[in-house]
Chains A and B, each alone.
Chain A
Amino acid sequence: MNLKKHWYKWVASIFLLYVVLGGLFLPLKPGITAVSPVKLSSGNDISIKLNVYNAPWLRENTSAIESVSKDGKFQMPAKVILVSKGIQGRWESEKIDFSANHGQVIAKFDIKMGQADISNEYYSVFIELSNGKYLGLPDAIFLERSLGDTVGNSTIKMSSNENIAIEREKFEMSFPNRVVLNESVRNLFYHVPMWFAMLALLGIASWYALKYLRFSNLEDDIMADSLIRVGILAGILGCITGATWARVTWQSWWPAADPKLNGVAIGMTMYMAYLLLRSTMSDPYQRARITSVYSVFIFPIFIALIVIMPKLSPNSLHPGSGGTVGFNKYDLDSTMRLFFYPAVIGWIALFYWIANLRLRIAQLNEKQLNK
């Protein structure tokens, strides 16, 4: 095989093999997935149950935990901490227990607000591990003052300097365990690159459409047409995979309030109109000219609809827009990057490959028609 001519096919094959295997089989980091109860009144002997996901120390029974914890192989939970946003206060658990069968940590608290000026508010829950790291679930518990709790000293510890942040773990091959996303964080390698591939293909198509308008070479028009058609395929796959992902995380197939989805709906309609427009004309030069102008014009509008508008909007569910953080802040950790970038390149290469097949068929078709 001629490497120079077929390089992107190799890129598509190797990168996607790596991304699919790695994306499916690498484990998730441990994380807290649920806390119960979610509402507490202050008092003595309060017990809180935490469901912990993928924590190796919960797979063992308690005696085994004690033996392995001595050699420091496993991270052990040392205590459970409640941290408030407003006053930088924290309560630490008196005692913790494990329930290996249910993947649970049970923590006992004595919480007294006393005369301290503490308002009822949401607290984040952290499990402090023996190696000084934390597992956390933000704003998980609403803590309120019980009726009798108005006298004496508070047991809250003020910690102005000692902010608990889930520190960046040193490099290890596992995916981050995000609230709500959990295992489905892997879809970043499969759903998101569909849109990158669509944008890349439509972008290249616009380039060929411009080239056609400049030189009137029908080859360029066929190239642009093939790229747009396969780009639309990637877009449709992006929509369906996105809906599937949204169903389990955002609890809706199509959360209509999201500006990115509305933008995509309009943008896809514009490209459907391209297909319709193209099918109405039979003269190849007229068809090429009109559809080239159309596709050159709608590409920037499409970009504006799915990239720029959601960024300006205050309430998008997608990362990188409005109130949600972008990829760079903390959504993408180093392991995710190791798979996300190859995924983007691999999927673009694969769809380009398919567009190339479509192009060669169209070229043959053209030749037969001219005979």
Chain B
Amino acid sequence: MKTSVSEQFDANAAELLAHHNLMNAVYGVLAIIFIGILFYLVRLDRKISRLEKNQS
């Protein structure tokens, strides 16, 4: 009985670790920031293009 509880905990702990490789959270956060800034730069780029078109 005692071992089965411990084994169950081991399985849970292993599962938790497998599902939560916390390094992925770091990559995810960096990717979000990168995409967010890129998105804003594309918007600025469009604004500049519009200005250039009006100029000519």
Contact = CB atoms under 8 A, between A and B. Distances in A.
B40 A354 contact: yes
Contact of B10 (A49, A186, A236, A247): A49
A184 B30 CA distance: 12
Contacts of B54: 368
A247 B20 CA distance: 10
A37 B5 contact: yes
Interface in A323-371: 350, 354, 357-358, 361, 364-365, 368
Contact of A368 (B20, B44, B55): B55
A191 B29 contact: yes
B33 A237 contact: yes
Interface residues of B, number: 30
A312 interface: no
B25 A184 contact: yes
A181 B26 CA distance: 11
A184 B32 contact: no
Interface hub of A20, A181, A240, A247 (most chain B Cβ within 10 A): A240
A17 interface: no
B53 to A, nearest CB: 11
Contact of B44 (A186, A187, A241, A357): A357
Interface in A74-119: none
Interface in A224-264: 230, 233, 236-237, 240-241, 244-245, 247-249
Nearest to A362: B47
Nearest to A41: B2
Contacts of A181: 22
A240 B36 contact: yes
Contacts of A187: 25-26, 29
A33 interface: yes
A39 to B, nearest CB: 8
Contacts of B16: 34
Contact of B51 (A233, A237, A244, A364): A364
Given A36-B6, A186-B26, A187-B25, A244 B37 contact: no
Interface in B3-43: 5-6, 9-10, 13, 16-17, 20-26, 28-30, 32-33, 36-37, 40-41
Given A36-B13, A183-B22, A354-B40, A244 B29 contact: yes
A364 B10 CA distance: 63
A248 B33 CA distance: 18
B37 A354 contact: yes
Given A34-B17, A244-B28, A358 B9 contact: no
B44 A240 contact: no
Nearest to A368: B54
Given A184-B22, A237-B32, 7 more contacts: A36-B10, A181-B22, A183-B26, A190-B29, A248-B20, A361-B47, A368-B51
Interface of A: 20, 23-24, 33-34, 36-38, 49, 51, 181-184, 186-187, 190-191, 194, 230, 233, 236-237, 240-241, 244-245, 247-249, 350, 354, 357-358, 361, 364-365, 368
